Amino acid sequence: MTISAIAIGCDHAGFPLKDPLIAWARERGFMVQDFGTHSTESVDYPDFVHPVARAVQEQEQTWGILICGSANGVAITANKHAGIRAAIAWMPEIAQLARQHNDANVLCLPARYLAVDEALAIAELFFSTQFEGGRHEARVRKIAPGFR
């Protein structure tokens, strides 16, 4: 893997997956910046998504991981940031396609539907898969805000 830095954030529903994902990333030599939350106490997910998305957008971190109950809220919020391609993955093959075809740079995980081992398998494939480029390159360029 060539990933050097990962920004991670979650809401209260995602908290149980966050620490295992941080440990997984650090075991592989990645630097990890934890943007919280730090408990299962109810919080508003945008408060944790925007700092992760900004860190990736401004290239302070290479990649992002966002976790909430369904992954929808974090993905919608992250994708408001220019240059962010946040993809929801509930199985490894979806994560692989998000990287291969969409050059996703933020992995969004639905904590209420994944066991820890499933989340780790998804992260493993997401971060070990390269963007294919080629025919997908032009499509990804069309994602940018203001494209006409």
Give kind and range of the element (H or E) at residue 136: helix 135-141
Q: Please determine, for residue 10, whether its predicted confidence score (pLDDT) is greater than 70.
A: yes
Residue 38 half-sphere exposure, CB side, CA atoms within 13 Å?
A: 3
Phi-psi region at 10: left, alpha or beta (left = phi > 0; alpha = psi -120 to 50): beta
Note whether 109 and 14 are within 8 A (CB): yes
pLDDT for 32-89, tens place per residue? 999 999 999 999 999 999 999 999 999 999 999 999 999 999 999 999 999 999 999 9
| pTM beyond 0.75, yes or no | yes
Return the amino acid letter for 44.
D
What are the catalytic residues?
68, 101
CATH number of 5-141: 3.40.1400.10
Structural domain boundaries in the chain? 5-141
Residue whose tokens read 């290479």: 62
Q: Across the chain, what does the average pLDDT equal?
A: 94
As a whole number of angstroms, the distance between CA 66 and CA 132 comes to: 23
Tokens 């440990």: give the residue.
23
The pair of three-digit structure tokens given for residue 130, joined into one six-digit string: 């390269």
